[in-house]
Amino acid sequence: MDMLAEVEKAKELVDMALSFNGIVEAKLIHSRDIVVDERVRFQCSYSGCRDYGGKLMCPPHTPGVDEFKKILSNYYMAVLVQLEGAIVNKDNWEPETDRWALQLHDIIYKLEKKAFSLGFPFAAGLIGGSCKLCKDCPGENDTNAKCLHREKARPSMEAMGIDVLSTCKNTGIKVEFSPTKVIWTGMVLLA
Ligand code: SF4
């Protein structure tokens, strides 16, 4: 494999990511800087997330953390992307944060498609937070339900057990918390 050529192709994805509205950071990273930690899955399961077991792109429907570690070991780089969105209504912030999450989802989907076309056949997009494509996910009432938008639905980094904060820190990307804005982070794995 010509690694330099691969990196040049991947840089096109970085440029594309930065052209989207709301994207404040896009960086090509080495997959060894992606931190996967069992505690992230533990938090999904036991820290009160409403989407655990409900959304079909969330645990326990997603691969286990060990399985994901194995999958990740076959990827050599990724594009890490951050979107920043303003929160105007601080008393009712959820619809706004959901809207920004959907915007990142759409961008990750487009970047993944572009990565395929550039010659990364195993490109895999991971969004931030739970999948919000449907108002009501059929997984909420039926664990055997089928996803309604399999072509576009993607799991989140967190659903795979990725420690997003540590991964950002490893790669020199700041994550700030503020009541007036939301930051969503996603990535596209490249191989
Ligand atoms: S696309 Fe719809 S059905 Fe599929 S995981 Fe997302 S919310 Fe659930």
**How far is it, in rounded angstroms, from Cα 86 to Cα 156?**
21
Number of folded domains that form the chain = 1
Asked whether the predicted pLDDT for residue 143 surpasses 80, the reply is no
| pLDDT tier for residue 142 given thresholds of 50, 70 and 90 | confident
55 Cα–ligand 1 center, Å:
6
Burial of residue 33 (number of CB atoms within 10 Å: 0-12, 13-18, 19+): middle
Mean pLDDT of the chain: 95
155 Cα–ligand 1 center, Å:
10
Tell me which residue of 125, 103, 130, 106 sits closest to 186, measured CA to CA. 125
Please write the tens of the pLDDT for every residue from 50-67: 899 999 999 999 999 999
6 Cα–ligand 1 center, Å:
32
pLDDT of residue 151: 97
Which residue's alpha carbon is nearest to atom 4 within ligand 1? 147
pLDDT of residue 140: 84
- The domain containing residue 72 runs over which residues? 3-190
